[in-house]
Amino acid sequence: MAIVVSADTFGAHLRFQNGDVEGVRSALGRAEVSVIEVQQSMHDLRVAIGDAEEEEE
Please give the biggest Cα pair distance in the chain: 47
Q: Is the dihedral of CA 9, 11, 13, 16 positive or negative?
A: negative
46, 54 Cβ separation under 8 angstroms: no
Give residue 3's pLDDT: 85
Q: How confident is the model at residue 56 (pLDDT cuts 50, 70, 90)?
A: confident
pLDDT of residue 44: 95
* Reported pTM: 0.75
Q: Mean of the per-residue pLDDT values for the chain? A: 92
pLDDT digits (tens, 9 = 90+) for 4-23: 889 999 999 999 999 999 99
